[in-house]
Amino acid sequence: MGSSVTVRDIARAANVSHGTVSRVLNNHPAVTEENRQRVLKAATELGYFASKSARSKAQPENRTVSELGFLLTAGVDAGEQNFWIRILRGVEAEATRHGIKILYRAIGDLIDSPDRLRTALNEMGLRSVLLVGDGDPEIVAALEDLHIQFVLVDSRVRGTTLNAVISDDYEGVYQIIKYLLDLGHERIAFIGNTVRSPRGTPIYSIECRALGYAQAMRDAGLPFEDLLLTGAGALYVNDGYAACKHLLDNGIAFTALFCASDLVAVGAIRALNEAGLRVPEDVSIIGEDSHMASLVTPHVTAMRTHPEQMGALAVRQIMSAVENPETPPLVTVLPIDLIQRQSVAPPKRRT
């Protein structure tokens, strides 16, 4: 098999996941001894180490980053562009400081075609990339097969330990819901969608936000099942409008809404206004901070992430991973802040 041996080949022979193979080959401690021995045995029998040694002798390993791929796996709809652009801005600023050239490409349309995906990655000729958006297992497998060093940005892949830079969405939303609870709100709805694509790829950040919401409500001993709206739509104005209308039309009582994006908050406010309800006098709303959050009336209280810092840290992390390939994977977690504006107030007292 020689030089064609891939992580996928070893995983198949050892009957383990790609992530397990990657952890074993990088000497990561988070793997059982049984799986470690299975992977090493399969890799040896397939000639992986021999071919790797031969390649190393023929081409000394370059442990610096001169060119870096910014691979956007998520959609580029108008509602998402601002967030990804802000990450890219942070990436470009940090890369410029280190003389690194950035190559940008949206690859979401290639996920459903593994052959096209691998061909595209090969043609780009990159050895280091930032995988921005959904951490789709198919893309991760392709990068591992091609021995491309990568860092996940704003995502993780369930069941794996990979280099990543993310926001603390779970704890951030937990504390935001607790803030609403401390104000006296008990019927708090969550509007957001945890699934992005027909393949069922979860949006990691929104999934964590929904879990943080649910745990905060659970810890307060409050029911929330009828208030947790995570439908199959997107995260835009019409979705927030439709979700809020669903609550109102079905007579589901609530005094506060947490919206997983700023556009969802805009749509929810429109639905509330049509129903003759005022924000925050009748219903409090919290969204995600962006230019939209401060353009509507009232200005929306919001959770603030740090996309520029996320991009800059991702560049530093990929540089460190390339320079020190034996280092275990690192997950960098950025805090989330609450920006208090005009859309939150204590709930009305019942008369």
Tell me the average pLDDT across 95-103: 95
pLDDT at 56: 45
pLDDT digits (tens, 9 = 90+) for 43-89: 777 876 555 544 444 444 567 889 999 999 865 554 556 788 899 99
| Torsion angle defined by CA atoms of residues 231, 232, 236 and 238, in that order, rounded to the nearest 10 degrees | -70
- Which of 37-41, 46-50, 125-129 bottoms out in mean pLDDT, i.e. has the lowest? 46-50
pLDDT at 100: 95
In CATH, the architecture of 2-58 is Orthogonal Bundle (1.10)
pLDDT at 1: 42
Would the pTM count as exceeding 0.85? Answer: no
Which of 123-127, 140-144, 335-339 tops mean pLDDT? Answer: 335-339
> How many Cβ atoms are within 10 Å of 50's Cβ, its own excluded?
15
pLDDT at 291: 64
> Which carries the bigger pLDDT value, residue 295 or residue 196?
295
pLDDT at 7: 81
- Which of 191-195, 271-275, 294-298 bottoms out in mean pLDDT, i.e. has the lowest? 294-298
Does the structure show a pLDDT above 80 at 113?
Answer: no
In CATH, the architecture of 67-167+307-334 is 3-Layer(aba) Sandwich (3.40)
Structure tokens at 283: 């219903």
Tell me the average pLDDT across 99-106: 93
Alpha-helical runs (H) found in 125-250: 137-145, 169-182, 204-219, 237-249
- Distance in angstroms between the alpha carbons of the first and the last residue of the chain: 78
pLDDT confidence bin for 233, thresholds 50/70/90: low
- Which of 26-40, 165-179, 246-260 bottoms out in mean pLDDT, i.e. has the lowest? 26-40
Rounded Cα distance between 177 and 286, Å, is 9
Q: Tokens 């990804």 map to which residue?
A: 84
pLDDT digits (tens, 9 = 90+) for 306-331: 999 999 999 999 999 999 888 889 99
pLDDT at 351: 44
Does the structure show a pLDDT above 90 at 120?
Answer: no
Does the structure show a pLDDT above 50 at 262?
Answer: yes
Same fold, 67-167+307-334 and 169-304: yes
Rounded Cα distance between 45 and 148, Å, is 23
Cα 255 to its chain centre, rounded Å, is 29
pLDDT at 17: 85
Does the structure show a pLDDT above 60 at 2?
Answer: no
Classified by CATH at the fold level, domain 169-304 comes out as Rossmann fold (3.40.50)
pLDDT confidence bin for 202, thresholds 50/70/90: confident
**Residues contacting residue 132 through CB under 8 Å, at least 6 positions apart:** 70, 71, 72, 73, 74, 84, 87, 88, 153, 154
pLDDT confidence bin for 244, thresholds 50/70/90: very high
| Torsion angle defined by CA atoms of residues 308, 310, 315 and 319, in that order, rounded to the nearest 10 degrees | 150
Asked if residues 8 and 18 have their Cβ atoms less than 8 Å apart, the reply is: yes
Rounded Cα distance between 78 and 328, Å, is 37
Does the structure show a pLDDT above 50 at 229?
Answer: yes
What residue segments make up the domains of the chain, in order of their start?
2-58, 67-167+307-334, 169-304
> Which carries the bigger pLDDT value, residue 288 or residue 164?
164
Structure tokens at 318: 């990929």
Does the structure show a pLDDT above 70 at 39?
Answer: yes
